[in-house]
Amino acid sequence: MHHPPQRWIAHMDLDAFFASCEQRDDPALRGRPVVVGARPGQRGVVAAASYEARRYGIRSAMPIAEAARRCPHAVYLRPDLEKYRRVSRQVFEVLGTLTPSVETASIDEAYLDVSGLERLLGPPDTIGREIKHRIHAATGLTASVGIGPNRLIAKLGSEYRKPDGLTVVSPAQVADFLAPMPVGNLRGLGPQTLKILDRLGIRTVARLRAMPLHVLEQHLGRHAAAGFLRQAEGIAPDRVIPDRARKSISKETTFATDCTNPDVVHATLRRLAAEVARTARGEGLAGTVVTLKIRYAGFETHTRQRKRAAATCDEREILETAVQLLHARGLPDKPVRLVGVGISEWSATDTTQPDLFDSPQRRTAGRQVLRTIDAVSEKFGHGKLQLGVPPASDT
């Protein structure tokens, strides 16, 4: 009998990432409840809570007012995303020294295919310790790691014991590992689905697994029913995909108080459009679909999108379409809580062009590069390459 080689997937999750970064950089914060997020008294939620803060029941996504009530004496900090991105890059560089098969799941999470590392480092628990050790040595941060035969088991493993945890689940242990878990631990099973399953008396993975498919289908739909049942059986993808391409860019902002002034809404859209455009150019992306998001008092949220004739990363064009969408019929005339602007659906051709024009210096340098490309391509008889050189009027 021939068996395919055992696949081992690792999931790494940095513990209370934002809060840990702050505690690392300011010794005065160590051992104290730290909450990173909105300022108390303002609109917003908790982005990260240190383990000291979690003892007061503070969780991420909790309204900041609720956190302040639970622990008024915690240290409340605004997020420093630049710093977190820097630290995150460091962590991913370290992971890259172990295997090229690293997938960025978020700023503080990664999946690694560590199947091939067994011969190099030893059994999975040794690999897990090595991952944690290298991260700590490079950044001073702790991570929780789960290792299992697929992504689901790896992810549940990293959640199983934290902070600073390590959990290895072999294929033989999968069924027992899953059985007693609350169904809410499964991927993509949120509050809505939880409510439905609760009404059916299904609270553990074991109960879910015992359910006939057709019953679940009646309540969850075909797709979701089959998907959750597969998870309950421990069946999940076991491939790691490095460098996933992003599919959209968006910026949104919530007003401190609901906005009734159309000029302010318009000015905000302009700013958001400019930020989206800048990010897009920085990544060499241009989108054909512009999305407007608007949320009114009472949390009533609408999105409107429109496909443009051609892809764009121009803030004026993005703003133009966003404003058209804002005035399209069907949107209520009420105080506005939030507006957002996004682009998506990259044009088939220029999705990976680097931005040569995102600063005055680089504009000059960029044109030089394109002139050189033009010259070379002319020499070889292909005519000018259409790379969209902006007009040189500002030099």
Residues that bind DNA (CB under 7 A): 38, 43-45, 47, 60-61, 63, 65-66, 105-109, 155, 187-194, 221-224, 246-254, 279, 289, 298-299, 301-307, 328, 338, 340, 342, 344
Smallest distance from the beta carbon of 394 to DNA, in angstroms? Answer: 28
State in angstroms the smallest separation of the CB of 257 from DNA. 11
Structural tokens at position 296: 């009114």
Give the number of other CB atoms < 10 A from CB of residue 337: 19
CB of 392 to DNA, least distance (A): 31
Closest Cα to residue 326, out of 273, 258, 274?
A: 273
Would you call 109 a catalytic residue per the annotation?
A: yes
For 133-178, where are the E strands, in sequence order? 143-148, 166-168
Output the smallest distance, CB 255 to DNA, in A. 9
Least distance to DNA from the beta carbon of 118, Å?
A: 26
In the block, tokens 């609720």 appear at 66
Query: How many residues appear in the chain?
Result: 395
- Based on CB atoms, which residue is closest to DNA, 209 or 337? 337
Shortest Å distance, C-beta 56 to DNA: 16
Structure token pair of residue 166: 């390590």
Contact 205, 232 (CB under 8 A): yes
Report yes or no: 326 and 292 within 8 Å, Cβ to Cβ. yes
CA distance 264 to 255: 10
Cα–Cα distance measured from residue 269 to residue 263, given in angstroms and rounded to the nearest whole number: 10
Decide whether 307 or 371 has the Cβ nearer to DNA: 307
Cβ at position 371, least distance to DNA in Å: 32
Least Cα distance to 173 among 185, 184, 160, 182 occurs for 160
Q: Which is nearer to DNA, 63 or 96 (CB)?
A: 63
- Rounded-to-integer distance, Cα 153 and Cα 342, Å: 34
What DSSP state is assigned to residue 182?
Answer: B
C-beta separation of 19 from 35 below 8 A: yes
Task: Name the residue nearer to DNA (CB basis): 155 or 281.
Answer: 155
CA distance 188 to 28: 38
Token couple for 317 = 């064009």
Catalytic-role residue among 103, 109, 283, 315: 109
Q: Which of 256, 217, 390, 281 is nearest to 335 (CA)?
A: 256
For DNA, the closer CB: 307 or 334: 307
Cβ count near 122 (within 10 Å): 12
Report the DSSP pairing between strands 248-259 and 9-14.
Answer: unpaired
How far is the C-alpha of 309 from the C-alpha of 321, rounded, in Å?
11
Nearer to DNA, 253 or 364 (CB): 253
Nearer to DNA, 288 or 364 (CB): 288
Positions marked catalytic = 109
